[in-house]
């Protein structure tokens, strides 16, 4: 499945939630128009089960499901790809394990040079952030909107913005060059279907 060109990038909120709750929330976000889903779970107990269920429901909506950090889990459950942070392994390693068609995203924080290197190494997309204070990543270093503008000038792959993004503050990021907005709390701290529609509206305004 291909990585989308624009839209809402939903990242699961799994803390203190049952597998059923996560599945239901993701289903609601998909009904609201989310175009890609990342399964992110820092303390997974039933990760293979939950990841497989999310793959099923995402594919019913023709939406790719990515796994955060874990290349092996992505391969095990038949996910569409993986998102790699600074300590999560190399693009080449992920490509070898998951195949030439896999989606491979890379966190680039506030570094356009890192993004350029990732594109050269075969990344499908790059992500910058955090752009605003974030309850999900309170210690993450801030990124600047100018980084998006610079990245848009030199990259040909999609650009994702992440970090404290709300429907109320996302428009400047899209205008600066973000192709997708990655969201956790702004989506799942609310009614996910309605919240997803509000984010998707930023791409049609």
Written as six digits, the tokens of 157 are: 């792959």
Flag whether 68 is in a domain: yes
Please give the chain's pLDDT, 205 residues, in tens: 999 999 999 999 998 899 999 999 999 999 999 999 999 997 777 799 999 999 999 999 999 999 999 999 999 999 999 999 987 679 999 999 999 999 999 999 999 999 999 999 999 999 999 999 877 667 778 999 999 999 999 999 999 999 999 999 999 999 999 999 999 999 999 999 999 999 999 999 7
CA–CA gap between residue 192 and residue 28 (Å, rounded): 6
CA–CA gap between residue 129 and residue 170 (Å, rounded): 12
Flag whether 148 is in a domain: yes
Give the pLDDT score at 44.
Answer: 73
Residue numbers annotated as active site: 40, 107, 137
CA–CA gap between residue 111 and residue 151 (Å, rounded): 9
Give the pLDDT score at 11.
Answer: 98
Domain of residue 186, residue span = 7-201
CA–CA gap between residue 5 and residue 70 (Å, rounded): 24
Flag whether 151 is in a domain: yes
Give the pLDDT score at 140.
Answer: 75
Written as six digits, the tokens of 110 are: 């506030």
Give the total number of structural domains in the chain.
Answer: 1
Specify the pTM.
0.96
CA–CA gap between residue 143 and residue 129 (Å, rounded): 5
Flag whether 196 is in a domain: yes
| b/e map 49-63, b = 16+ CB within 10 Å | ebbebbbebbeebeb
The CATH code of the domain that includes 181 is 3.20.20.70
Flag whether 143 is in a domain: yes
Flag whether 2 is in a domain: no
CA–CA gap between residue 61 and residue 143 (Å, rounded): 32
Give the pLDDT score at 137.
Answer: 67
User: Whose CA is closest to 40, among 154, 127, 167?
Assistant: 127
Flag whether 168 is in a domain: yes
């Amino acid at each position: 499945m291909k990585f989308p060109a624009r839209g809402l990038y939903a990242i699961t909120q799994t803390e203190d939630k049952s597998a059923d709750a996560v599945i239901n929330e993701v289903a609601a976000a998909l009904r609201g128009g989310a175009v890609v889903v990342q399964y992110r779970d820092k303390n997974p107990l039933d990760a293979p089960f939950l990841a497989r269920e999310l793959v099923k429901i995402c594919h019913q909506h023709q939406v790719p499901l990515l796994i955060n950090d874990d290349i092996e889990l992505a391969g095990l459950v038949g996910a569409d790809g993986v998102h790699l942070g600074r300590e999560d392994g190399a693009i080449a390693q992920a490509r070898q394990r998951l195949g030439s068609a896999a989606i491979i995203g890379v966190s680039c924080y506030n570094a356009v040079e890192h993004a350029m290197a990732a594109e050269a190494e075969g990344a499908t997309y790059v992500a910058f952030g955090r752009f605003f204070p974030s309850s999900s990543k309170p210690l993450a270093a801030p990124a600047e909107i100018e980084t998006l503008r610079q990245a848009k000038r030199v990259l040909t792959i999609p650009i994702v913005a992440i970090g404290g993004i709300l429907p109320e503050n996302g428009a400047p990021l899209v205008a600066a060059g973000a192709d997708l907005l990655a969201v956790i709390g702004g989506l799942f701290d609310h009614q996910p279907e309605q919240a997803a529609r509000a984010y998707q509206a930023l791409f049609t305004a």
